[in-house]
Amino acid sequence: MNTKDILQNVNFSGNIVSLLASTTEIICALGLKNNLVGISHECDNPKEILNLPIVSSPNIDIKASSKEIDSSVMNSLSNNLSIYNINNELLKSLKPDFIFLQDHCNVCAISPEDLEIFFQDITNKNCKIIRFSPNTIDEMISGIYNIGKELNCENNAHIIINNIKNKLRSYKNQNLKLTKKYNVAFIEWIEPLFYGGNWIPEIIEYAGAKSIFGNIGEHSTTIGFEKIKQNNPDFILISPCGFDIKKTLSELNPLLNHPDWKTLKAVKNNKIFILDGNKYFNRSGLSIIPSIEIIKEIIYTKNSVYNFENSCWVNLNNI
Protein backbone atom coordinates (compact mmCIF):
# COMPACT_ATOMS: atom_id res chain seq x y z
CA MET A 1 0.00 0.00 0.00
CA ASN A 2 1.44 3.34 -1.08
CA THR A 3 1.08 5.75 1.83
CA LYS A 4 2.61 8.86 0.26
CA ASP A 5 -0.85 10.36 -0.33
CA ILE A 6 -2.06 9.71 3.21
CA LEU A 7 -2.86 12.84 5.19
CA GLN A 8 -0.36 13.52 7.94
CA ASN A 9 -2.17 16.13 10.05
CA VAL A 10 -3.49 13.66 12.62
CA ASN A 11 -4.59 15.08 15.96
CA PHE A 12 -3.77 12.16 18.23
CA SER A 13 -1.41 12.00 21.20
CA GLY A 14 -2.01 8.59 22.79
CA ASN A 15 0.42 5.69 23.21
CA ILE A 16 -0.27 2.65 21.03
CA VAL A 17 0.91 -0.93 21.42
CA SER A 18 0.18 -3.17 18.46
CA LEU A 19 0.31 -6.92 19.02
CA LEU A 20 -0.68 -7.84 15.47
CA ALA A 21 1.46 -7.37 12.36
CA SER A 22 -1.46 -6.21 10.21
CA THR A 23 -2.61 -3.53 12.66
CA THR A 24 0.95 -2.27 12.97
CA GLU A 25 1.00 -1.75 9.20
CA ILE A 26 -2.40 -0.05 9.25
CA ILE A 27 -1.49 2.27 12.14
CA CYS A 28 1.66 3.36 10.31
CA ALA A 29 -0.24 3.89 7.06
CA LEU A 30 -2.70 6.10 8.95
CA GLY A 31 0.19 8.38 9.87
CA LEU A 32 0.54 7.29 13.50
CA LYS A 33 3.90 5.56 13.38
CA ASN A 34 5.29 7.93 16.01
CA ASN A 35 2.51 6.98 18.43
CA LEU A 36 3.56 3.35 18.45
CA VAL A 37 5.46 2.60 21.66
CA GLY A 38 5.53 -1.20 21.51
CA ILE A 39 4.99 -4.11 19.14
CA SER A 40 4.82 -7.90 19.10
CA HIS A 41 7.57 -10.28 17.99
CA GLU A 42 5.64 -10.80 14.72
CA CYS A 43 5.58 -7.12 13.71
CA ASP A 44 8.22 -6.62 11.02
CA ASN A 45 6.85 -3.94 8.70
CA PRO A 46 7.51 -1.09 8.03
CA LYS A 47 11.20 -1.25 8.85
CA GLU A 48 11.04 2.03 10.81
CA ILE A 49 9.27 0.26 13.69
CA LEU A 50 11.85 -2.47 14.17
CA ASN A 51 13.64 -0.59 16.97
CA LEU A 52 10.50 -0.40 19.13
CA PRO A 53 10.23 -2.46 22.34
CA ILE A 54 8.98 -6.00 21.67
CA VAL A 55 6.55 -7.05 24.38
CA SER A 56 5.92 -10.66 23.35
CA SER A 57 7.67 -13.89 22.44
CA PRO A 58 6.54 -17.37 21.38
CA ASN A 59 6.49 -20.22 23.88
CA ILE A 60 7.12 -22.74 21.11
CA ASP A 61 10.03 -23.21 18.72
CA ILE A 62 8.91 -21.35 15.59
CA LYS A 63 12.00 -22.60 13.74
CA ALA A 64 10.84 -26.21 14.09
CA SER A 65 9.18 -28.17 11.29
CA SER A 66 5.49 -27.70 10.50
CA LYS A 67 4.77 -31.12 12.07
CA GLU A 68 6.69 -30.24 15.24
CA ILE A 69 5.04 -26.82 15.49
CA ASP A 70 1.60 -28.39 15.11
CA SER A 71 2.43 -30.92 17.84
CA SER A 72 3.67 -28.17 20.19
CA VAL A 73 0.58 -26.07 19.56
CA MET A 74 -1.78 -28.99 20.17
CA ASN A 75 0.08 -29.88 23.37
CA SER A 76 -0.14 -26.29 24.64
CA LEU A 77 -3.84 -26.04 23.87
CA SER A 78 -4.66 -29.41 25.45
CA ASN A 79 -2.88 -28.31 28.63
CA ASN A 80 -4.55 -24.88 28.60
CA LEU A 81 -1.19 -23.17 28.11
CA SER A 82 -0.62 -19.98 26.15
CA ILE A 83 1.40 -20.17 22.96
CA TYR A 84 2.73 -16.66 23.60
CA ASN A 85 4.52 -14.97 26.46
CA ILE A 86 3.82 -11.34 27.35
CA ASN A 87 6.44 -9.21 29.09
CA ASN A 88 3.92 -7.61 31.43
CA GLU A 89 6.42 -5.35 33.20
CA LEU A 90 7.63 -3.93 29.89
CA LEU A 91 4.09 -3.53 28.64
CA LYS A 92 3.06 -1.64 31.79
CA SER A 93 6.10 0.63 31.51
CA LEU A 94 5.00 1.69 28.03
CA LYS A 95 1.74 3.09 29.48
CA PRO A 96 -0.43 2.24 26.48
CA ASP A 97 -3.71 4.03 25.87
CA PHE A 98 -4.62 1.56 23.13
CA ILE A 99 -3.63 -2.06 22.59
CA PHE A 100 -4.41 -3.65 19.23
CA LEU A 101 -4.74 -7.42 18.87
CA GLN A 102 -6.97 -10.11 17.39
CA ASP A 103 -9.42 -12.65 18.77
CA HIS A 104 -9.73 -14.55 15.51
CA CYS A 105 -7.34 -17.36 16.45
CA ASN A 106 -5.40 -18.04 19.65
CA VAL A 107 -2.78 -19.92 17.63
CA CYS A 108 -2.01 -17.39 14.88
CA ALA A 109 -1.28 -14.38 17.08
CA ILE A 110 -1.67 -12.91 20.56
CA SER A 111 -5.25 -12.90 21.82
CA PRO A 112 -7.01 -11.10 24.73
CA GLU A 113 -6.53 -14.13 27.00
CA ASP A 114 -2.76 -13.59 26.81
CA LEU A 115 -3.19 -10.19 28.51
CA GLU A 116 -5.10 -11.33 31.58
CA ILE A 117 -2.18 -10.81 33.98
CA PHE A 118 -1.44 -7.40 32.47
CA PHE A 119 -4.97 -6.16 33.11
CA GLN A 120 -4.99 -7.47 36.67
CA ASP A 121 -2.19 -5.08 37.57
CA ILE A 122 -2.52 -2.22 35.09
CA THR A 123 -2.43 1.32 36.45
CA ASN A 124 -4.07 2.93 33.42
CA LYS A 125 -7.60 1.59 33.76
CA ASN A 126 -8.61 3.58 30.67
CA CYS A 127 -6.36 1.54 28.39
CA LYS A 128 -8.57 0.35 25.55
CA ILE A 129 -8.35 -2.99 23.74
CA ILE A 130 -9.14 -2.81 20.02
CA ARG A 131 -9.80 -6.14 18.32
CA PHE A 132 -9.07 -6.58 14.62
CA SER A 133 -10.29 -10.00 13.51
CA PRO A 134 -11.65 -9.91 9.95
CA ASN A 135 -12.63 -13.04 8.05
CA THR A 136 -13.37 -11.35 4.72
CA ILE A 137 -12.12 -8.41 2.69
CA ASP A 138 -15.23 -6.37 3.55
CA GLU A 139 -14.52 -6.97 7.24
CA MET A 140 -10.91 -5.87 6.71
CA ILE A 141 -12.13 -2.64 5.15
CA SER A 142 -14.57 -2.04 8.00
CA GLY A 143 -11.79 -2.80 10.47
CA ILE A 144 -9.48 -0.24 8.88
CA TYR A 145 -12.21 2.38 9.17
CA ASN A 146 -12.84 1.47 12.82
CA ILE A 147 -9.14 1.81 13.62
CA GLY A 148 -9.10 5.23 11.97
CA LYS A 149 -12.18 6.27 13.91
CA GLU A 150 -10.73 5.14 17.25
CA LEU A 151 -7.47 6.99 16.59
CA ASN A 152 -9.04 10.23 15.33
CA CYS A 153 -7.86 9.86 11.74
CA GLU A 154 -10.97 8.90 9.80
CA ASN A 155 -9.92 10.97 6.77
CA ASN A 156 -6.74 8.96 6.39
CA ALA A 157 -8.71 5.74 6.81
CA HIS A 158 -11.05 6.83 4.01
CA ILE A 159 -8.08 7.45 1.70
CA ILE A 160 -6.70 3.96 2.37
CA ILE A 161 -10.12 2.36 1.96
CA ASN A 162 -10.86 4.19 -1.30
CA ASN A 163 -7.49 3.07 -2.64
CA ILE A 164 -8.31 -0.55 -1.78
CA LYS A 165 -11.84 -0.35 -3.22
CA ASN A 166 -10.62 1.21 -6.47
CA LYS A 167 -8.10 -1.58 -6.95
CA LEU A 168 -10.66 -4.27 -6.16
CA ARG A 169 -13.03 -2.71 -8.69
CA SER A 170 -10.23 -2.70 -11.26
CA TYR A 171 -9.50 -6.40 -10.67
CA LYS A 172 -13.18 -7.26 -11.14
CA ASN A 173 -13.26 -5.39 -14.44
CA GLN A 174 -10.10 -7.14 -15.62
CA ASN A 175 -11.61 -10.51 -14.75
CA LEU A 176 -14.60 -9.86 -17.01
CA LYS A 177 -12.22 -10.24 -19.97
CA LEU A 178 -10.99 -13.67 -18.90
CA THR A 179 -12.05 -16.64 -21.00
CA LYS A 180 -11.09 -19.24 -18.38
CA LYS A 181 -10.91 -19.44 -14.61
CA TYR A 182 -8.18 -21.74 -13.37
CA ASN A 183 -8.69 -23.95 -10.33
CA VAL A 184 -6.31 -23.28 -7.45
CA ALA A 185 -5.42 -25.27 -4.35
CA PHE A 186 -4.03 -22.98 -1.65
CA ILE A 187 -2.07 -24.87 1.02
CA GLU A 188 -1.76 -23.00 4.34
CA TRP A 189 0.00 -25.73 6.34
CA ILE A 190 1.95 -28.82 5.29
CA GLU A 191 1.93 -31.30 8.19
CA PRO A 192 -0.96 -31.74 8.67
CA LEU A 193 -2.35 -30.34 5.42
CA PHE A 194 -4.54 -27.26 5.82
CA TYR A 195 -6.16 -25.33 3.00
CA GLY A 196 -6.42 -21.54 3.06
CA GLY A 197 -9.70 -20.23 4.45
CA ASN A 198 -11.21 -16.90 5.54
CA TRP A 199 -10.13 -14.27 2.98
CA ILE A 200 -7.95 -16.61 0.87
CA PRO A 201 -10.75 -17.89 -1.45
CA GLU A 202 -11.80 -14.26 -1.96
CA ILE A 203 -8.26 -13.16 -2.81
CA ILE A 204 -8.02 -16.00 -5.34
CA GLU A 205 -11.34 -14.92 -6.84
CA TYR A 206 -10.18 -11.31 -7.23
CA ALA A 207 -7.04 -12.66 -8.91
CA GLY A 208 -9.23 -14.21 -11.60
CA ALA A 209 -9.15 -17.84 -10.44
CA LYS A 210 -11.21 -20.21 -8.31
CA SER A 211 -10.28 -21.80 -4.99
CA ILE A 212 -11.15 -25.50 -4.99
CA PHE A 213 -11.27 -25.57 -1.19
CA GLY A 214 -13.08 -23.46 1.37
CA ASN A 215 -15.73 -20.78 1.26
CA ILE A 216 -15.19 -17.07 1.75
CA GLY A 217 -15.15 -16.20 5.45
CA GLU A 218 -14.85 -19.78 6.72
CA HIS A 219 -11.85 -20.84 8.81
CA SER A 220 -9.04 -22.96 7.43
CA THR A 221 -9.21 -26.64 8.24
CA THR A 222 -7.36 -29.88 7.62
CA ILE A 223 -7.63 -31.77 4.38
CA GLY A 224 -6.45 -35.16 3.16
CA PHE A 225 -4.18 -35.47 0.14
CA GLU A 226 -6.96 -37.50 -1.51
CA LYS A 227 -9.04 -34.32 -1.79
CA ILE A 228 -6.26 -32.59 -3.70
CA LYS A 229 -5.95 -35.61 -5.98
CA GLN A 230 -9.71 -35.75 -6.59
CA ASN A 231 -9.94 -32.06 -7.49
CA ASN A 232 -6.66 -32.13 -9.45
CA PRO A 233 -6.13 -28.33 -9.51
CA ASP A 234 -4.48 -26.36 -12.30
CA PHE A 235 -2.27 -24.54 -9.78
CA ILE A 236 -1.03 -25.40 -6.30
CA LEU A 237 0.03 -22.44 -4.16
CA ILE A 238 1.94 -23.32 -0.99
CA SER A 239 2.02 -20.57 1.62
CA PRO A 240 2.17 -21.86 5.22
CA CYS A 241 1.07 -19.51 7.98
CA GLY A 242 4.05 -17.56 9.33
CA PHE A 243 6.57 -19.05 6.88
CA ASP A 244 8.63 -17.17 4.32
CA ILE A 245 9.73 -18.75 1.04
CA LYS A 246 13.01 -20.15 2.38
CA LYS A 247 11.33 -21.81 5.37
CA THR A 248 8.59 -23.27 3.18
CA LEU A 249 11.09 -24.76 0.73
CA SER A 250 12.70 -26.64 3.62
CA GLU A 251 9.31 -28.12 4.59
CA LEU A 252 8.16 -29.63 1.30
CA ASN A 253 9.30 -33.25 1.63
CA PRO A 254 5.99 -34.60 3.02
CA LEU A 255 4.31 -33.36 -0.16
CA LEU A 256 7.08 -34.15 -2.64
CA ASN A 257 7.47 -37.69 -1.28
CA HIS A 258 3.78 -38.51 -1.36
CA PRO A 259 3.26 -41.45 -3.77
CA ASP A 260 0.57 -39.57 -5.71
CA TRP A 261 2.33 -36.19 -5.87
CA LYS A 262 3.67 -36.67 -9.40
CA THR A 263 0.26 -37.72 -10.70
CA LEU A 264 -1.19 -34.23 -10.11
CA LYS A 265 -1.85 -32.06 -13.15
CA ALA A 266 -0.23 -29.03 -11.51
CA VAL A 267 2.96 -31.03 -10.87
CA LYS A 268 3.10 -32.34 -14.44
CA ASN A 269 2.62 -28.82 -15.81
CA ASN A 270 5.15 -27.19 -13.43
CA LYS A 271 2.43 -25.12 -11.74
CA ILE A 272 3.60 -25.50 -8.14
CA PHE A 273 4.40 -22.16 -6.52
CA ILE A 274 5.85 -21.19 -3.15
CA LEU A 275 4.58 -17.89 -1.73
CA ASP A 276 5.65 -15.68 1.17
CA GLY A 277 2.79 -16.39 3.55
CA ASN A 278 4.25 -14.50 6.48
CA LYS A 279 4.48 -11.14 4.75
CA TYR A 280 1.38 -11.33 2.59
CA PHE A 281 -1.34 -13.99 2.62
CA ASN A 282 -1.51 -14.68 6.35
CA ARG A 283 -2.01 -10.99 7.22
CA SER A 284 -5.49 -9.53 7.25
CA GLY A 285 -4.97 -5.94 6.23
CA LEU A 286 -3.08 -3.85 3.72
CA SER A 287 -1.32 -6.92 2.33
CA ILE A 288 -4.49 -8.10 0.58
CA ILE A 289 -3.73 -5.95 -2.47
CA PRO A 290 -0.21 -7.28 -3.14
CA SER A 291 -1.50 -10.78 -2.29
CA ILE A 292 -4.08 -10.54 -5.08
CA GLU A 293 -1.49 -9.15 -7.47
CA ILE A 294 0.98 -11.92 -6.64
CA ILE A 295 -1.57 -14.58 -7.61
CA LYS A 296 -2.51 -12.63 -10.74
CA GLU A 297 1.15 -12.53 -11.72
CA ILE A 298 1.56 -16.27 -11.12
CA ILE A 299 -1.49 -17.32 -13.12
CA TYR A 300 -1.37 -14.76 -15.92
CA THR A 301 2.39 -14.25 -16.22
CA LYS A 302 2.31 -13.21 -19.88
CA ASN A 303 0.11 -10.22 -19.08
CA SER A 304 1.78 -9.30 -15.79
CA VAL A 305 2.58 -5.69 -14.98
CA TYR A 306 3.91 -6.61 -11.55
CA ASN A 307 7.38 -7.59 -10.37
CA PHE A 308 6.91 -9.99 -7.47
CA GLU A 309 8.73 -13.06 -8.77
CA ASN A 310 11.62 -14.33 -6.61
CA SER A 311 11.00 -11.81 -3.82
CA CYS A 312 7.39 -12.84 -3.10
CA TRP A 313 6.96 -16.11 -4.97
CA VAL A 314 8.95 -18.77 -6.79
CA ASN A 315 8.09 -21.59 -9.16
CA LEU A 316 9.20 -24.84 -7.54
CA ASN A 317 10.36 -26.07 -10.93
CA ASN A 318 12.97 -23.29 -11.03
CA ILE A 319 14.54 -24.13 -7.66
The per-residue pLDDT for 115 is 74
190 with 154, same domain? no
CB 182 within 8 A of CB 299: yes
Least confident of 127-131, 157-161, 166-170, 239-243: 127-131
* Residue 109 pLDDT exceeds 60: yes
Residue 183 φ then ψ, to 5°: -90, 135
- Is the peptide bond prior to 46 cis by the omega test (within 30 degrees of 0)? yes
Domain annotation covers residue 98: yes
Into how many domains does the chain fold?
A: 2
Domain annotation covers residue 167: no
Residue pLDDT, tens place only, 182-225: 999 999 999 999 999 999 999 999 999 999 998 999 999 999 99
21 with 148, same domain? yes
Residue pLDDT, tens place only, 255-287: 999 999 999 999 999 999 999 999 999 999 999
Candidates 292, 285, 287, 4; CA nearest to 148 is 285
Domain annotation covers residue 71: yes
121 with 234, same domain? no
Q: Of 93, 127, 160, which marks where a domain is finished? A: 160
106 with 206, same domain? no
Mean of pLDDT values over 62-78: 89
* Residue 82 pLDDT exceeds 90: no
* Residue 13 pLDDT exceeds 70: yes
141 with 87, same domain? yes
189 with 301, same domain? yes
DSSP-assigned beta bridge partners for residue 98:
16, 128
150 with 200, same domain? no
200 with 112, same domain? no
Banded model confidence at residue 1, pLDDT cuts 50, 70, 90: very low
Domain annotation covers residue 93: yes
The count of C-alpha atoms lying within 13 angstroms of the C-alpha of 282, restricted to the half-sphere facing its C-beta, is 24
Q: What is the CATH number of the domain that holds 286?
A: 3.40.50.1980
Residue pLDDT, tens place only, 17-51: 999 999 999 999 999 999 999 999 999 999 999 99
* Residue 137 pLDDT exceeds 90: yes
Q: Which domain holds residue 239?
A: 178-318
List of residues 6+ apart from 196 with CB closer than 8 A = 186, 187, 188, 211, 213, 214, 220, 239, 281
CA distances from 54 to 14, 18, 60 (A): 18, 10, 17
Q: For strands 209-211 and 128-131, give the pairing.
A: unpaired
Domain annotation covers residue 184: yes
* Residue 120 pLDDT exceeds 80: no
Domain annotation covers residue 165: no
**Long-range contacts, stretch 174-177, CB < 8 angstroms, 24+ apart:** 174/208, 175/206, 175/208
Domain annotation covers residue 166: no
Domain annotation covers residue 108: yes
